[in-house]
Amino acid sequence: MPNTLAEVSARLGVVKGLQQALEQGQNRLRYALELKEKVILNTESSGVAKIQEDSDSLKTEFDKLVNEVQ
């Protein structure tokens, strides 16, 4: 348990940094998923399956990270 105002402020700074990093990660993930939709339009079916698999994996891993941090 933090005892001083300085310790509380330091921990608050860490929490705010994590929150900001998660927001940036969410924005990057959303952008990557938007790009995926554009790319698969001009991709062969075998490539589409791999892109879909990789993007699903990326989203799952990010969701796990968010749950661990919360």
| DSSP secondary structure of 6-60 | HHHHHHHHHHHHHHHHHHHHHHHHHHHHHHHHHHGGGS-HHHHHHHHHHHHHHHH
Tell me 2's DSSP state. -
**pLDDT, average across residues 4-11:** 91
Residue ranges of domains in the chain: 5-69
pLDDT the model gives residue 12: 92
Match 């924005």 to its residue by tokens.
27
Does the pLDDT of residue 64 top 90, yes or no? yes
pTM of the model: 0.79
Q: Is residue 29 within 8 Å of residue 55, measured between CB atoms?
A: no
* pLDDT tens-digit map of 18-62: 999 999 999 999 999 999 999 999 999 999 999 999 999 999 999
